[in-house]
Amino acid sequence: MVSVDKPEGVNIIIGQAHFIKSIEDLYETIKNTISSCGFAIAFNEASGDRLVRWEGNDGELVDVACRTAGEIGAGHLFVVLLRNAFPINVLNALKLVPEVCTIYCATANPLQVVVVESDQGRGVVGVIDGLRPEGVEDEGAKRERRDLLRRFGYKF
C-alpha cells in the first residue's frame, strides 16, 4: 500500500499507459485542454532505462509527481497533478490518448494505491479514494451539493 502525499488542494489522476511516447502525448493533451493551470506528469518507463519520465509547468508538482510515481513503482504507470483545475476538465481527453490503457482514479481526496509485487516488478491492483461514508444525504445536504455544482459552473 502506498499512501500518496500531495499538496493541499491539488488533484491527482493515476493511470496506466503503454509506451514512452505517452509522456509527451499526455503533456500535450493537458496543455491543449486546460492551459491555464499548473500541472505535472510523471511516467514510469517499464523497459529500457526504466526511468521516471516527466513533463510539466509547475516545479513543485513535478517533484511530487516524480516522487509519487517512484514510490508506487509500477511499470507504465502515470501520475498527473493539477493545480487550479479539476480532473473533470481533462479526464475524457486523457482517456482518448491512444497509449492510455486505464485510469485508476481522479481525486483531491486522501489516496492510497494498492500495489502487488512479484519477482518481475510491481502492479496496481486498485486505489482507496477518500474516506468511508458516514450517512445518507438529507434534503439540506442535497441542496448544498446542487448549489456547489452550480457555483463551479458544472450545472445550471
Residue 128 has a pLDDT of: 97
- In this predicted model, what pLDDT tens digit does every residue of 82-103 receive, in sequence order? 999 999 999 999 999 999 999 9
Q: What is the pTM of this model?
A: 0.92
The phi-psi region of residue 73 (left if phi > 0; otherwise alpha if psi is between -120 and 50; otherwise beta) is left
Q: Does residue 145 fall inside a structural domain?
A: yes
User: What pLDDT, in 10s, does the model give residues 68-84?
Assistant: 999 999 999 999 999 99
Residue 156 domain flag: no
> How far does Cα 98 stand from its chain's mean position?
17
Mean pLDDT (whole number) for 120-141: 96
Cα distance between residue 16 and residue 75, in whole Å: 8
Residue 90 lies in a domain: yes
Q: What range does the domain containing 87 cover? A: 2-151
Whole-number Å distance between alpha carbons of 147 and 43: 37
Which CATH number covers residue 95?
A: 3.40.1520.10
> Sorting pLDDT into bands at 50, 70 and 90, what band is 154?
confident
